[in-house]
Amino acid sequence: MSAASAIGVPVFDSTNGEMMEGPGGASIAELRIRDGKRVRGVDAVIDGWQRFFLAHCETVLSLGAINTPKVLMQSGDELRSHGIPVVQHLPGVGRNHQNHLAFGCTWAYGKPDAMGGSGCEANIYWKSDARLSQPDILQCQLEFAVPSPPETGLETPEHGWTMFNGLAQPKSRGRLRLSGPDINNPILIEPNSLSEPEDMAAALAAVELCRELGRSDGSSQLVTGETAPGVRDRSGMIDFIRRSAISGIKPRRPRWDETTRR
């Protein structure tokens, strides 16, 4: 937080509310688990009155950005190419695919430091360009070193921490296609990531923000040096971004009690 404040990023008590709805800022990450218990409901203010909603039995099926359109395409126009009659005309399903890519910048610890929580300790929501009307990059500060994809050829320190910073408002669009009519047929993904110049510009700004935080006085006492990306010139940075990009949101294995409820 001190490093963010030192470079002009305002610090907030909470990631939600003013920080997300305004020009952006930094805050300690908020968790949805307390004392090992899962969320069962939500408090909300509606027309000035505080209300509490408790989920008794209903579960909403959410298959993510890949498998949700797959289910829909298996009920729509994509079936024609596999010899199955179409009941509902839905030509847009599977198009306009977008992904919140993230890029991991890693530093080696000066000395090992134990994890204290979920791993994600702080967030930054910020603009890649001051002329933008709203933040377009989102950072998560992790308290452990995340291995870079093997395509980067970078070594991961035994002890360290990683800043994941990525695109909150990606402009590039891809497409999903069915490979067959059966539910077990894999989906064909054409991500088309970073195809729009604005996305690469935002990615460069996101990585530079991480590096600026890592070089700050607030971080210098914790680390011995940067291990990723470890490059200085623009072409090397672009190559690092393309090779290290991963999906910013990863699937989570459901707990047994969640599976049985489904």
Write the pLDDT tens digit of every residue in 221-233.
Answer: 888 999 999 887 9
pLDDT at 216: 86
Q: Is residue 157 part of a domain?
A: yes
Residue 92 has pLDDT above 90, yes or no: no
Report the CATH number at residue 143. Answer: 3.30.560.10
Q: What is the pLDDT of residue 262?
A: 29
Residue 42: inside a domain: no
Residue 137 located in a structural domain? yes
C-alpha distances in Å from residue 186, one per residue of 95, 96, 180, 181: 17, 19, 8, 10
Domain count, the chain: 1
Is residue 225 in some structural domain?
yes
In a domain, 76, yes or no: no
Average pLDDT over residues 187-203: 93
Q: Is residue 222 part of a domain?
A: yes
Q: Which of 96, 98, 99, 91 is nearest to 73 (CA)?
A: 91
Q: Is residue 87 part of a domain?
A: no
- Is residue 170, in this structure, part of any structural domain at all? yes
Q: How far apart are CA 96 and CA 78, in angstroms?
A: 15
Model confidence at 149: pLDDT above 80: yes
Q: Each residue of 250-261: pLDDT tens digit?
A: 433 333 333 333
Domain that holds residue 182: 2-19+94-261
Condensed to tens digits (0 to 9), the pLDDT of residues 29-52 reads 877 666 665 756 677 788 889 988
How high is the pLDDT of residue 260?
Answer: 32
Q: How confident is the model at residue 54 (pLDDT cuts 50, 70, 90)?
A: confident
